[in-house]
Amino acid sequence: MTGHSTYVPKSALARWFESRLPIMGLVHSSFIAYPTPKNLNYWWTFGGIASFMLAAQIVTGVVLAMHYTPEVTMAFDSVEKIMRDVNFGWLMRYAHANGASMFFVAVYIHIFRSLYYGSYKAPREVLWILGVIIFLLMMATAFMGYVLPWGQMSFWGAKVITSLFSAIPFVGDAITIWLWGGYSVDNPTLNRFYSLHYLLPFMIAGVVVLHVWALHVSGQNNPTGVEVKSVPKDTVPFTPYATVKDAFGMVCFFILFAWFVFYVPGILGDADNYIRANPLVTPAHIVPEWYFLPFYAILRAIPSKLGGVIAMFSSIAIFLFLPWLDTSRVRSARYRPVFKIFFWVFVATGIGLGYLGSQPPEGGFVIAARILTAYYFLHLLVIIPLLGLFERPRPLPASIADSVLASRASVGARVAAE
Protein backbone atom coordinates (compact mmCIF):
# COMPACT_ATOMS: atom_id res chain seq x y z
CA MET A 1 0.00 0.00 0.00
CA THR A 2 3.02 2.25 0.46
CA GLY A 3 2.94 4.69 -2.44
CA HIS A 4 5.28 4.06 -5.33
CA SER A 5 8.27 6.32 -4.72
CA THR A 6 8.73 8.90 -7.42
CA TYR A 7 11.54 10.45 -5.41
CA VAL A 8 14.48 11.55 -7.54
CA PRO A 9 17.58 12.78 -5.66
CA LYS A 10 18.45 16.25 -6.88
CA SER A 11 22.18 16.58 -6.19
CA ALA A 12 25.06 14.20 -6.90
CA LEU A 13 25.66 13.89 -3.13
CA ALA A 14 21.97 12.97 -2.53
CA ARG A 15 22.18 10.38 -5.37
CA TRP A 16 25.36 8.94 -3.83
CA PHE A 17 23.73 8.73 -0.39
CA GLU A 18 20.37 7.38 -1.64
CA SER A 19 22.04 4.50 -3.51
CA ARG A 20 23.64 3.47 -0.19
CA LEU A 21 20.75 4.19 2.23
CA PRO A 22 17.43 4.94 0.46
CA ILE A 23 15.95 6.76 3.43
CA MET A 24 14.60 9.78 1.53
CA GLY A 25 12.79 7.42 -0.85
CA LEU A 26 11.23 5.67 2.17
CA VAL A 27 10.10 8.97 3.71
CA HIS A 28 8.78 10.10 0.33
CA SER A 29 6.77 6.94 -0.31
CA SER A 30 5.45 6.78 3.28
CA PHE A 31 4.63 10.42 4.04
CA ILE A 32 4.41 12.23 0.72
CA ALA A 33 3.18 9.97 -2.07
CA TYR A 34 1.39 7.53 0.27
CA PRO A 35 -2.19 7.08 -1.02
CA THR A 36 -4.57 8.20 1.75
CA PRO A 37 -8.33 7.49 1.60
CA LYS A 38 -9.89 10.77 0.48
CA ASN A 39 -12.73 10.63 3.02
CA LEU A 40 -10.74 10.58 6.30
CA ASN A 41 -12.30 12.81 8.97
CA TYR A 42 -10.63 14.55 11.94
CA TRP A 43 -10.78 11.42 14.10
CA TRP A 44 -7.92 10.17 11.91
CA THR A 45 -5.63 12.98 13.08
CA PHE A 46 -5.27 11.48 16.56
CA GLY A 47 -2.49 9.02 15.59
CA GLY A 48 -0.38 12.01 14.53
CA ILE A 49 -1.43 13.90 17.67
CA ALA A 50 -0.40 10.90 19.83
CA SER A 51 3.01 10.84 18.06
CA PHE A 52 3.39 14.56 18.83
CA MET A 53 2.57 13.96 22.50
CA LEU A 54 5.07 11.10 22.73
CA ALA A 55 7.78 13.40 21.36
CA ALA A 56 6.75 16.18 23.80
CA GLN A 57 6.95 13.74 26.74
CA ILE A 58 10.42 12.57 25.73
CA VAL A 59 11.79 16.11 25.28
CA THR A 60 10.36 17.49 28.57
CA GLY A 61 11.29 14.26 30.40
CA VAL A 62 14.92 14.38 29.29
CA VAL A 63 15.21 17.97 30.57
CA LEU A 64 13.55 17.08 33.90
CA ALA A 65 15.97 14.15 34.30
CA MET A 66 18.87 16.61 34.23
CA HIS A 67 17.64 18.10 37.51
CA TYR A 68 15.86 15.23 39.25
CA THR A 69 17.47 13.03 41.95
CA PRO A 70 16.16 9.43 42.25
CA GLU A 71 16.91 8.96 45.94
CA VAL A 72 14.22 8.80 48.64
CA THR A 73 15.61 11.57 50.86
CA MET A 74 16.15 13.95 47.91
CA ALA A 75 13.55 13.14 45.23
CA PHE A 76 10.75 15.32 46.66
CA ASP A 77 13.10 18.28 47.23
CA SER A 78 14.67 17.94 43.79
CA VAL A 79 11.21 18.29 42.25
CA GLU A 80 10.53 21.40 44.37
CA LYS A 81 13.89 22.76 43.20
CA ILE A 82 12.82 22.17 39.58
CA MET A 83 9.61 24.11 40.28
CA ARG A 84 11.27 27.08 42.01
CA ASP A 85 14.93 27.40 41.00
CA VAL A 86 15.51 25.81 37.61
CA ASN A 87 14.94 28.22 34.72
CA PHE A 88 11.59 27.26 33.18
CA GLY A 89 11.62 24.16 35.37
CA TRP A 90 7.97 24.83 36.31
CA LEU A 91 7.10 24.81 32.61
CA MET A 92 8.93 21.53 31.96
CA ARG A 93 7.25 19.86 34.93
CA TYR A 94 3.73 21.13 34.23
CA ALA A 95 4.11 20.29 30.54
CA HIS A 96 5.30 16.77 31.40
CA ALA A 97 2.64 16.05 34.05
CA ASN A 98 -0.25 17.48 32.00
CA GLY A 99 1.33 16.06 28.84
CA ALA A 100 0.87 12.55 30.24
CA SER A 101 -2.86 13.26 30.62
CA MET A 102 -3.11 14.78 27.16
CA PHE A 103 -1.27 11.77 25.70
CA PHE A 104 -3.92 9.51 27.25
CA VAL A 105 -6.73 11.76 25.96
CA ALA A 106 -5.30 11.46 22.43
CA VAL A 107 -4.80 7.70 22.69
CA TYR A 108 -8.25 7.03 24.19
CA ILE A 109 -9.84 8.97 21.31
CA HIS A 110 -7.61 7.05 18.89
CA ILE A 111 -8.72 3.72 20.38
CA PHE A 112 -12.43 4.59 20.38
CA ARG A 113 -12.11 5.83 16.77
CA SER A 114 -10.72 2.37 15.89
CA LEU A 115 -13.57 0.69 17.76
CA TYR A 116 -16.24 2.81 16.06
CA TYR A 117 -14.97 2.33 12.52
CA GLY A 118 -13.88 -1.32 12.99
CA SER A 119 -10.21 -0.51 12.25
CA TYR A 120 -9.12 -3.53 14.32
CA LYS A 121 -10.68 -6.02 11.90
CA ALA A 122 -8.81 -7.98 9.21
CA PRO A 123 -6.36 -7.19 7.69
CA ARG A 124 -5.35 -4.81 10.51
CA GLU A 125 -5.15 -7.29 13.43
CA VAL A 126 -1.37 -6.96 13.93
CA LEU A 127 -1.59 -3.17 13.73
CA TRP A 128 -4.28 -3.32 16.44
CA ILE A 129 -2.35 -5.75 18.67
CA LEU A 130 0.72 -3.50 18.45
CA GLY A 131 -1.58 -0.67 19.58
CA VAL A 132 -2.72 -2.67 22.63
CA ILE A 133 0.96 -3.34 23.48
CA ILE A 134 1.67 0.42 23.22
CA PHE A 135 -1.25 1.09 25.56
CA LEU A 136 0.10 -1.38 28.15
CA LEU A 137 3.58 0.17 27.92
CA MET A 138 2.04 3.64 28.32
CA MET A 139 0.24 2.55 31.47
CA ALA A 140 3.42 1.09 32.96
CA THR A 141 5.37 4.26 32.08
CA ALA A 142 2.76 6.61 33.55
CA PHE A 143 2.46 4.53 36.73
CA MET A 144 6.21 4.54 37.34
CA GLY A 145 6.54 8.23 36.46
CA TYR A 146 3.94 9.14 39.07
CA VAL A 147 6.07 7.50 41.77
CA LEU A 148 9.13 9.67 41.04
CA PRO A 149 8.14 12.93 42.87
CA TRP A 150 7.90 10.77 46.01
CA GLY A 151 4.81 12.48 47.39
CA GLN A 152 2.15 10.75 49.49
CA MET A 153 0.11 9.60 46.47
CA SER A 154 3.30 8.48 44.68
CA PHE A 155 4.26 6.26 47.57
CA TRP A 156 0.84 4.84 48.42
CA GLY A 157 -0.14 4.36 44.77
CA ALA A 158 3.06 2.37 44.26
CA LYS A 159 2.35 0.37 47.40
CA VAL A 160 -1.24 -0.53 46.44
CA ILE A 161 -0.45 -1.50 42.86
CA THR A 162 2.75 -3.45 43.50
CA SER A 163 1.07 -5.28 46.40
CA LEU A 164 -1.49 -6.62 43.93
CA PHE A 165 1.12 -9.11 42.77
CA SER A 166 1.09 -10.68 46.24
CA ALA A 167 -2.37 -12.04 45.39
CA ILE A 168 -0.79 -14.54 42.96
CA PRO A 169 -0.90 -17.97 44.69
CA PHE A 170 2.38 -19.45 46.05
CA VAL A 171 4.85 -17.08 44.34
CA GLY A 172 3.01 -13.76 44.90
CA ASP A 173 4.99 -12.59 47.92
CA ALA A 174 8.32 -13.52 46.33
CA ILE A 175 7.39 -11.58 43.17
CA THR A 176 6.40 -8.51 45.18
CA ILE A 177 9.67 -8.51 47.16
CA TRP A 178 11.57 -8.95 43.89
CA LEU A 179 9.70 -5.97 42.35
CA TRP A 180 10.37 -3.78 45.38
CA GLY A 181 14.03 -4.78 45.63
CA GLY A 182 13.48 -5.12 49.39
CA TYR A 183 10.74 -5.63 51.95
CA SER A 184 8.76 -2.49 51.17
CA VAL A 185 8.51 0.32 48.63
CA ASP A 186 11.81 2.12 49.26
CA ASN A 187 14.97 3.48 47.68
CA PRO A 188 15.67 0.44 45.40
CA THR A 189 12.06 0.64 44.17
CA LEU A 190 12.39 4.35 43.36
CA ASN A 191 15.69 3.71 41.56
CA ARG A 192 14.40 0.94 39.31
CA PHE A 193 11.18 2.85 38.56
CA TYR A 194 13.29 5.80 37.45
CA SER A 195 15.45 3.62 35.24
CA LEU A 196 12.41 1.96 33.64
CA HIS A 197 10.50 5.23 33.35
CA TYR A 198 13.37 6.57 31.24
CA LEU A 199 13.64 3.38 29.16
CA LEU A 200 9.99 2.62 28.35
CA PRO A 201 9.16 5.72 26.23
CA PHE A 202 11.90 4.67 23.82
CA MET A 203 10.42 1.19 23.69
CA ILE A 204 7.04 2.79 22.99
CA ALA A 205 8.67 4.78 20.17
CA GLY A 206 10.05 1.50 18.76
CA VAL A 207 6.63 -0.17 18.85
CA VAL A 208 5.09 2.95 17.25
CA VAL A 209 7.49 2.48 14.32
CA LEU A 210 6.21 -1.11 13.92
CA HIS A 211 2.63 0.16 14.33
CA VAL A 212 3.03 2.68 11.50
CA TRP A 213 4.88 0.12 9.39
CA ALA A 214 1.95 -2.32 9.78
CA LEU A 215 -0.38 0.56 8.89
CA HIS A 216 1.47 1.14 5.65
CA VAL A 217 1.24 -2.54 4.75
CA SER A 218 -2.53 -2.86 5.25
CA GLY A 219 -3.37 0.73 4.32
CA GLN A 220 -5.61 3.01 6.34
CA ASN A 221 -9.19 2.19 7.11
CA ASN A 222 -11.68 5.04 6.55
CA PRO A 223 -15.15 6.14 7.75
CA THR A 224 -16.97 3.83 5.29
CA GLY A 225 -14.87 0.80 6.31
CA VAL A 226 -14.79 -0.12 2.60
CA GLU A 227 -11.25 -0.85 1.37
CA VAL A 228 -9.54 1.31 -1.27
CA LYS A 229 -10.47 -0.17 -4.66
CA SER A 230 -8.87 2.28 -7.04
CA VAL A 231 -5.89 4.40 -6.01
CA PRO A 232 -6.58 7.34 -8.32
CA LYS A 233 -10.33 7.46 -7.53
CA ASP A 234 -10.45 6.64 -3.81
CA THR A 235 -7.27 8.27 -2.50
CA VAL A 236 -5.27 11.48 -2.39
CA PRO A 237 -1.50 11.81 -1.78
CA PHE A 238 -0.61 12.04 1.94
CA THR A 239 1.12 15.37 1.35
CA PRO A 240 -0.33 17.97 1.29
CA TYR A 241 -3.83 16.68 2.15
CA ALA A 242 -3.27 14.55 5.27
CA THR A 243 -0.20 16.51 6.38
CA VAL A 244 -2.14 19.78 6.52
CA LYS A 245 -5.14 18.17 8.22
CA ASP A 246 -2.89 16.47 10.81
CA ALA A 247 -1.01 19.74 11.42
CA PHE A 248 -4.30 21.59 11.99
CA GLY A 249 -5.48 18.88 14.40
CA MET A 250 -2.17 19.09 16.27
CA VAL A 251 -2.36 22.90 16.60
CA CYS A 252 -5.92 22.71 18.03
CA PHE A 253 -4.89 19.97 20.45
CA PHE A 254 -1.81 21.95 21.42
CA ILE A 255 -3.99 24.95 22.35
CA LEU A 256 -5.98 22.74 24.72
CA PHE A 257 -2.75 21.31 26.14
CA ALA A 258 -1.35 24.85 26.64
CA TRP A 259 -4.58 25.87 28.38
CA PHE A 260 -4.07 23.15 30.98
CA VAL A 261 -0.37 23.98 31.43
CA PHE A 262 -0.80 27.76 31.76
CA TYR A 263 -4.23 28.16 33.37
CA VAL A 264 -5.05 25.05 35.44
CA PRO A 265 -1.76 23.13 35.78
CA GLY A 266 -2.75 21.37 39.00
CA ILE A 267 -6.36 20.51 38.23
CA LEU A 268 -5.66 16.95 37.14
CA GLY A 269 -3.22 16.23 39.96
CA ASP A 270 -3.81 15.27 43.58
CA ALA A 271 -3.18 17.73 46.42
CA ASP A 272 -1.80 14.89 48.58
CA ASN A 273 1.18 14.62 46.27
CA TYR A 274 2.43 17.97 47.54
CA ILE A 275 3.04 16.20 50.87
CA ARG A 276 6.33 14.29 51.13
CA ALA A 277 5.94 10.46 51.13
CA ASN A 278 5.39 9.11 54.62
CA PRO A 279 5.23 5.32 55.01
CA LEU A 280 3.61 5.75 58.44
CA VAL A 281 0.61 7.85 57.34
CA THR A 282 -1.89 6.38 54.88
CA PRO A 283 -3.93 9.00 52.94
CA ALA A 284 -7.72 8.87 53.50
CA HIS A 285 -8.38 7.99 49.84
CA ILE A 286 -5.77 6.46 47.56
CA VAL A 287 -6.87 7.46 44.05
CA PRO A 288 -4.87 6.95 40.85
CA GLU A 289 -4.66 9.48 38.00
CA TRP A 290 -7.89 9.82 35.97
CA TYR A 291 -6.73 7.65 33.06
CA PHE A 292 -6.47 4.58 35.32
CA LEU A 293 -9.83 5.06 37.07
CA PRO A 294 -12.02 2.68 35.00
CA PHE A 295 -9.53 -0.16 35.55
CA TYR A 296 -9.21 0.73 39.24
CA ALA A 297 -13.01 0.48 39.53
CA ILE A 298 -12.92 -3.01 37.95
CA LEU A 299 -10.13 -4.05 40.35
CA ARG A 300 -12.17 -3.01 43.39
CA ALA A 301 -15.49 -4.32 42.09
CA ILE A 302 -14.50 -7.95 42.65
CA PRO A 303 -14.67 -9.05 46.31
CA SER A 304 -11.51 -11.22 46.17
CA LYS A 305 -8.08 -9.60 45.68
CA LEU A 306 -6.90 -12.22 43.18
CA GLY A 307 -10.23 -12.05 41.32
CA GLY A 308 -9.92 -8.25 41.11
CA VAL A 309 -6.38 -8.47 39.74
CA ILE A 310 -7.44 -11.05 37.12
CA ALA A 311 -10.49 -8.96 36.12
CA MET A 312 -8.40 -5.80 35.80
CA PHE A 313 -5.72 -7.38 33.61
CA SER A 314 -8.32 -9.27 31.56
CA SER A 315 -10.24 -6.05 30.91
CA ILE A 316 -7.28 -4.89 28.80
CA ALA A 317 -5.97 -8.25 27.55
CA ILE A 318 -9.40 -9.02 26.08
CA PHE A 319 -8.77 -6.32 23.46
CA LEU A 320 -6.01 -8.50 22.01
CA PHE A 321 -8.76 -10.91 20.89
CA LEU A 322 -11.24 -8.30 19.66
CA PRO A 323 -10.50 -8.83 15.94
CA TRP A 324 -11.76 -12.41 16.36
CA LEU A 325 -14.54 -11.68 18.86
CA ASP A 326 -16.19 -9.33 16.39
CA THR A 327 -17.88 -11.58 13.84
CA SER A 328 -19.38 -8.83 11.65
CA ARG A 329 -18.19 -8.57 8.07
CA VAL A 330 -19.01 -4.85 8.04
CA ARG A 331 -16.41 -2.62 9.69
CA SER A 332 -17.85 0.85 10.16
CA ALA A 333 -20.53 1.67 12.74
CA ARG A 334 -21.96 4.00 10.10
CA TYR A 335 -23.57 0.96 8.48
CA ARG A 336 -24.25 -0.99 11.70
CA PRO A 337 -27.30 0.63 13.35
CA VAL A 338 -27.48 -1.70 16.36
CA PHE A 339 -23.72 -1.84 16.94
CA LYS A 340 -23.70 1.96 16.93
CA ILE A 341 -26.09 2.07 19.92
CA PHE A 342 -24.07 -0.52 21.83
CA PHE A 343 -20.88 1.39 21.04
CA TRP A 344 -22.20 4.49 22.84
CA VAL A 345 -23.48 2.39 25.73
CA PHE A 346 -19.93 0.98 26.03
CA VAL A 347 -18.47 4.51 26.02
CA ALA A 348 -20.91 5.45 28.81
CA THR A 349 -19.91 2.30 30.72
CA GLY A 350 -16.24 3.35 30.55
CA ILE A 351 -17.06 6.86 31.79
CA GLY A 352 -19.28 5.43 34.55
CA LEU A 353 -16.52 3.08 35.69
CA GLY A 354 -14.10 6.02 35.67
CA TYR A 355 -16.41 7.97 37.98
CA LEU A 356 -16.84 4.98 40.30
CA GLY A 357 -13.06 4.47 40.40
CA SER A 358 -12.75 7.96 41.91
CA GLN A 359 -15.27 7.24 44.68
CA PRO A 360 -14.68 5.37 47.97
CA PRO A 361 -15.32 1.61 47.59
CA GLU A 362 -18.46 1.44 49.72
CA GLY A 363 -22.25 1.08 49.54
CA GLY A 364 -23.96 1.92 46.26
CA PHE A 365 -20.67 2.70 44.53
CA VAL A 366 -19.52 -0.90 44.85
CA ILE A 367 -22.82 -2.28 43.58
CA ALA A 368 -22.80 0.08 40.59
CA ALA A 369 -19.15 -0.84 39.85
CA ARG A 370 -20.08 -4.54 39.89
CA ILE A 371 -22.96 -3.99 37.46
CA LEU A 372 -20.82 -1.92 35.07
CA THR A 373 -17.90 -4.38 35.28
CA ALA A 374 -20.26 -7.23 34.39
CA TYR A 375 -21.63 -5.20 31.48
CA TYR A 376 -18.10 -4.33 30.29
CA PHE A 377 -17.27 -8.02 29.85
CA LEU A 378 -20.75 -8.83 28.53
CA HIS A 379 -20.29 -6.25 25.80
CA LEU A 380 -16.95 -7.62 24.60
CA LEU A 381 -17.55 -11.35 25.12
CA VAL A 382 -21.24 -11.77 24.26
CA ILE A 383 -22.83 -8.73 22.60
CA ILE A 384 -20.07 -8.07 20.04
CA PRO A 385 -19.88 -11.72 18.82
CA LEU A 386 -23.69 -12.04 18.65
CA LEU A 387 -24.26 -8.70 16.93
CA GLY A 388 -22.11 -9.81 14.01
CA LEU A 389 -24.39 -12.82 13.56
CA PHE A 390 -27.80 -11.19 14.02
CA GLU A 391 -27.52 -7.55 13.01
CA ARG A 392 -28.68 -6.47 9.54
CA PRO A 393 -26.18 -3.87 8.32
CA ARG A 394 -27.22 -1.05 6.00
CA PRO A 395 -26.06 -1.33 2.37
CA LEU A 396 -22.42 -0.37 1.89
CA PRO A 397 -21.30 2.07 -0.80
CA ALA A 398 -19.57 0.38 -3.75
CA SER A 399 -16.41 2.39 -3.12
CA ILE A 400 -14.98 5.32 -1.15
CA ALA A 401 -15.35 7.54 -4.22
CA ASP A 402 -19.04 6.56 -4.51
CA SER A 403 -19.70 7.46 -0.89
CA VAL A 404 -17.96 10.84 -1.26
CA LEU A 405 -19.90 11.62 -4.45
CA ALA A 406 -23.21 10.52 -2.87
CA SER A 407 -22.70 12.80 0.15
CA ARG A 408 -21.76 15.68 -2.18
CA ALA A 409 -24.88 15.01 -4.26
CA SER A 410 -27.09 15.01 -1.16
CA VAL A 411 -25.57 18.32 0.03
CA GLY A 412 -26.14 19.73 -3.49
CA ALA A 413 -29.77 18.59 -3.44
CA ARG A 414 -30.31 20.15 0.00
CA VAL A 415 -28.78 23.45 -1.10
CA ALA A 416 -30.95 23.43 -4.26
CA ALA A 417 -34.07 22.73 -2.19
CA GLU A 418 -33.31 25.66 0.14
Minimum distance between the CB of residue 349 and ligand HEM, rounded to whole angstroms? 17
The residue among 238 and 365 lying less far from ligand HEM, judged by its C-beta, is 238
Q: Which stretch binds ligand HEM (CB under 6 A): 174-182, 205-213, 258-266, 401-409?
A: 205-213
Question: Count of residues binding ligand HEM (CB under 6 A)?
Answer: 28
Which 3-state string (H, E, C) describes the chain? CCCCCCCCCCCHHHHHHHHHCCHHHHHHHHHCCCEEECCCCHHHHHHHHHHHHHHHHHHHHHHHHCCCCCCCCCHHHHHHHHHHCCCCHHHHHHHHHHHHHHHHHHHHHHHHHHHHCCCCCCCCHHHHHHHHHHHHHHHHHHHHHHHCCCEHHHHHHHHHHHHHHHHCCCCHHHHHHHHHCCCCCCHHHHHHHHHHHHHHHHHHHHHHHHHHHHHHHHCCCCCCCCCCCCHHHHEEEHHHHHHHHHHHHHHHHHHHHHHHHHHCCCCCCCHHHHCECCCCCCCCCCCCCHHHHHHHHHHHHCCCHHHHHHHHHHHHHHHHHHHHHCCCCCCCHHHCHHHHHHHHHHHHHHHHHHHHHCCCCCHHHHHHHHHHHHHHHHHHHHHHHHHHHHCCCCCCCCCHHHHHHHHHHHHHHHHHHC
Q: Which of 36, 141, 154, 220 binds ligand HEM (CB under 6 A)?
A: 220
Is residue 120 a contact residue for ligand HEM (CB under 6 A)?
yes
Is residue 333 a contact residue for ligand HEM (CB under 6 A)?
no
Q: Which stretch binds ligand HEM (CB under 6 A): 39-47, 73-81, 85-93, 186-194?
A: 39-47
Q: Which of 100, 153, 204, 401 binds ligand HEM (CB under 6 A)?
A: 204
Is residue 208 a contact residue for ligand HEM (CB under 6 A)?
yes
Q: Which stretch binds ligand HEM (CB under 6 A): 48-56, 157-165, 372-380, 401-409?
A: 48-56
Q: Which of 57, 152, 162, 221 binds ligand HEM (CB under 6 A)?
A: 221
Is residue 292 a contact residue for ligand HEM (CB under 6 A)?
no
Q: Which stretch binds ligand HEM (CB under 6 A): 17-25, 114-122, 159-167, 408-416?
A: 114-122
Minimum distance between the CB of residue 265 and ligand HEM, rounded to whole angstroms? 23
Q: Which of 39, 78, 119, 235 binds ligand HEM (CB under 6 A)?
A: 119
Q: Which of 79, 107, 144, 185 binds ligand HEM (CB under 6 A)?
A: 107
Is residue 223 a contact residue for ligand HEM (CB under 6 A)?
no
Applying CB under 6 A, the residues found at the interface with ligand HEM are 44, 46-48, 50-51, 54, 107, 110-111, 114, 117, 119-120, 124, 127-128, 131-132, 134-135, 204, 208, 211-212, 215, 220-221
